[in-house]
Structure 1
Amino acid sequence: MKTNLTELVARVDAYAAKQTLPTEQTTARLRTLLSDALAKATTAEADGTFFVKTGDIPAMWLRDATFQVLPYVKLIKTIPALESFLVGVLRRELRYVQHDPYANAFNQTASGAHWSEDDSDVAVSDLVWERKFEIDSLCAPLFLALKLRENTTHTDYLDDEFWQTLDVIVTVFETEQHHDQSPYYFKRVDCPANDTLTNDGRGTPVGYTGMIWNGFRPSDNACEYGYHVPSNMFVVAVLEPLLPLMPTQFSSLKARIEQLVAAVKAGIATYAVVTLPGGKRGYAYEVDGLGHQKLMDDANVPSLLSLPFIGYTNIDDELYQHTRAFILSAQNPYYYQGKVLAGIGSNHTPEAYVWPISLAMEGLTATDQAVKVGQLEKIAATDNGTGQCHESVSVDDASQYTRDWFSWANMTYCELALDVIEV
């Protein structure tokens, strides 16, 4: 049955209108934003899939799109028609992965539009907007599929196309466990240093760890050290739950996944568990297998802050709690505190700018309801009267922000609001 987006928007708006959060401001913001991805970012395609642009950039990021539509998964029982919409988003993501598993963002059509025309001397498909290799781009569709599995009784989307795409994903992961043998590189000219890879596009040297090499962080900025720990944890979080769901005809793929997950977990335990400032054991953000570590966290998900949300660990896990205390302190170089905000930012945006995504994630990974509500209030109070959550906001002046419309941030606010409502 064809999904009518106009009707879906009306139903989501009607649902939002009935909800009440602890403050008038947070309630009003939910009612403004809950239909954002459906009403403003989504286009229905003739093949039954859906293109979801990231916001004020006309491309579909695999990661962003997953988190943009994720709140709607919670509403399927109330609005069953959302299921076919979400499956349509998933199918489009899978087909993009099949087209180019090293790309992070895609055009709606094969228009030839690219973020930059000077990325490298490797031919980039006309369907690809940007070809930055990010592990999370390949994990995101699997995460969406698992969330659908948790909230629906249908599993038609776990078909041959899904498992064949998973095979493509696993093949890339296996290749990038040995990045020195990989064909992938990324070079961009006339750009900031964090927007390209060093070493002739290969990135800084790494040693074998069992983990998967990653070119760019979820912020789209280059990794300083090649093993991005939260993304490798995301791999474990999405692959392990898929194992018992795999059909018998994919037994060979299942065995490869089991081997891959074991290697990644061993690599995390050996290289990513470190002594944090203050002397407690926790997780590094990046490592290289050669003795170097990056102790920090970034606002973009997957992050160390988000580990319980992505399903890697429990909130009360000791290593996570030690890590959380570190990254939510001034010891994290991207934790900023000012007159109006305190939270985690990114080297993707100006210094002393906090991301509403990280503020929402702080709430989503808290156990105290008052903390969750407090994070909602912070986000709603710093939109500068626009009704939008923005990409990042100055800690001292809410009128200073980046990006007028960033749908991922809007929908992560909604994710937290629905968590508070306990849908």
Structure 2
Amino acid sequence: MISPAVSQLVAEMRHALRDRPRLAETFARCFPNTLDTTVRRMDDGTAFVFTGDIPAMWLRDSTAQVSPYLPLAAHDEALRQLIVGLIRRQAMYIRIDPYANAFNAAPDGSGHAGDLPPKGDWVWERKFELDSLCAPVSLLFRYWKVTGDLQVFTEDVRAMLRTVVGVMRVEQRHETSPYTFERPGPHPPSDTLSHGGRGSPVAYTGMVWSGFRPSDDACAYGYLIPANMFAVVILGQLAELARDVLDDAALSTEALALRDEIERGIQAHGIVEHPEHGPIYAYETDGLGRHLLMDDANVPSLLSIPYLGYRDAADPLYMNTRRFVLSHDNPSFARGRYAAGIGSPHTPPGMVWPIALAMQGLTSTSDEERERLLDMLVATTAGTAYMHESFDPDDPDVFTREWFAWANSLFAEFVLHSVRWTAEVK
């Protein structure tokens, strides 16, 4: 796909980064990567944005892949049509199955076979991830803010917003939910839910249950705190859309009430006292007194709290949490000769994820830290000038997933953020 605005910005960034040619070249490759390699315009006018080396569209990934293009959408018709097409396809998918995380371009039954209950033909995988409901709302809201476009609010899109609130309401009390998920056979335990597909027991907290993390790994405890933080943010956005665009006061009121219940749950059940770092946010909890203290590279994460818009980077509780997740107290943190950062149980132990390094930079208030992370990212591409899913911090030539568009987009977003930050400071 050709975008004049993207081409122009790449040229401008090459000039701005002319004293850092490796960074300029890596940006020039990564920024248009989603447009160049993962976009399919469909006959119905929608857009299918697949993740890269897997031919399926994740609701979360596709949102993240186009996010760096949003500021350009008001002035580039090609980008505007792409984002509108993606929003409409996301809405279509959520109406088909709001519990699925990844979908096919056509109802051909592709994807994981043998899961219980059986998935539909449109569905690649039916792992319920709370952030999969949040990401499309975030994209819609930000697109509307940038463009003021009201034509994007089709009946499918309006129904999507009502469905998001409805499913979250159901999953506040997961014990009454119809959703279960099991993957029989020789698969990792993280690919299935325990207790007959319902996951480990939880108590009511006001938060929304999630079966799986944004890594697609099963939650140890059902209330994933970063995903609930994301829900708090997008429910405020949804309420504004319902009030100002849809003229639906009831939906707006319901979204705000749900937001407040989730927020109270996070504050009551999601904060623990760490002996080294003080009060911090847990990654998961069950409302029964158990907490999981870690962070994962995939977003939403605890590290990404300011990026999500949940709290400011200077918030004391976030700062405590940030120190924890960027230390060896976080079991997903790794340090090697060439890099240090957050990984994920989704990949081999000791690996570092470029997504987490970019997010560390996007949420940093330190010039030195941002510059160090930019250099680290550019130096660990194994000579490809593209981001990977993860790499060995002692040997960056060892990596997973050569083609992972989400990582490329987030890196590009970090570069843009860093250049703009520097310009504003000067």
Distance 1:88 1:358 in 2: 28
CA offsets, 1:15-50, max 9 Å, x none? Answer: 302313362111110111111101100000112111
Does the 8 Å contact 1:277/1:331 carry over to 2? no
Deviates more, 1:53-62 or 1:157-166: 157-166
- 2:424 aligns with none
SS at match of 2:369: helix
The number of equivalent residue pairs is 415
210-219 vs 250-259, greater mean Cα deviation? 250-259
Instruction: Give the deviation of 1:63 after TM superposition.
Output: 0.2
Report if the CA contact (8 A) 2:282-2:291 is conserved: yes
Gaps of 5+ in 1: none
Cα deviation, 1:321-340, whole Å, max 9, x if unaligned, reads 11001111111010100111
8 A contact 2:104–2:123 mirrored in 1: yes
CA separation in 1, counterparts of 2:36 and 2:87? 18
**Distance in structure 1 (CA, Å) of the matches to 2:49 and 2:277:** 44
Contact kept? 2:172, 2:206, Cα under 8 Å: yes
- Matched residues in 2 for 1:23 and 1:232: separation? 39
Alpha-carbon separation, structure 1, partners of 2:356 and 2:101: 21
Query: Counterpart in 2 of 1:113?
Result: 110
> Which runs of structure 2 are paired with 1:25-174 in the superposition (5 Å)?
25-77=22-74, 79-114=76-111, 116-120=112-116, 122-174=117-169
Which shifted more, 103-112 or 270-279?
270-279
Structure 2's unaligned 5+ residue stretches are 422-426
Which residue of 377, 397, 400 maps to 1:399?
397
Structure 1 contact 197–203 (Cα < 8 Å) conserved: yes
TM-score for both structures, normalised by structure 1: 0.95
1:225 is displaced (CA, Å) by 0.4
Shift of 1:159: 4.5
Q: Deviations over 1:154-189 (max 9, x none)?
A: 233245432321111111111110100011111002
Structure 2 counterparts to residues 126-275 of structure 1, below 5 A? 126-189=121-184, 190-247=186-243, 249-275=247-273
Residue 78 of structure 1 deviates from its aligned partner by: 5.3
C-alpha RMSD of the superposition: 1.5
Q: Which amino acid aligns with 2:76?
A: I
Identity of paired residues, percent? 44
Q: Which amino acid aligns with 1:387?
A: A
Q: What is the CA–CA distance in structure 1 between the aligned matches of 2:75 and 2:358, rounded to whole Å? A: 24
Q: Distance in 1 between matches of 2:343 and 2:417?
A: 23
Is the contact between residue 276 and residue 295 of structure 1 (CA under 8 Å) also seen in structure 2?
no
Of residues 7, 29, 36 in structure 2, which corresponds to 1:13?
Answer: 7
- Once superposed, which parts of structure 1, at least 4 consecutive aligned residues long, lie more than 6 Å away? none
Shift of 1:418: 1.1
- 1: CA distance, partners of 2:366 / 2:21: 20
- Cα distance in 1 for partners of 2:29, 2:249 equals 46
TM-score by length of 2: 0.94
3-state SS in 1 of match to 2:385: coil
CA deviation vs aligned residue, 1:235-290 (integer Å, no higher than 9, x gap): 00111123233246522222221221111011001000111231511200000000
Indicate if the aligned counterparts of 2:138 and 2:237 stay in contact, CA closer than 8 A: no
Q: Determine the C-alpha separation between the residues in 1 that align with 2:164 and 2:71.
A: 27
- CA–CA distance in structure 2, aligned partners of residues 154 and 124 of structure 1: 34
What SS does structure 2 have at the residue aligned with 1:126?
coil
Q: Distance in 1 between matches of 2:145 and 2:54?
A: 31
User: Is the alpha carbon distance of 1:186 and 1:51 closer, same or farther for their aligned partners in structure 2, counting shifts above 3 Å?
Assistant: same
Do the aligned residues in 1 keep the contact of 2:277 with 2:323 (CA within 8 Å)? Answer: no
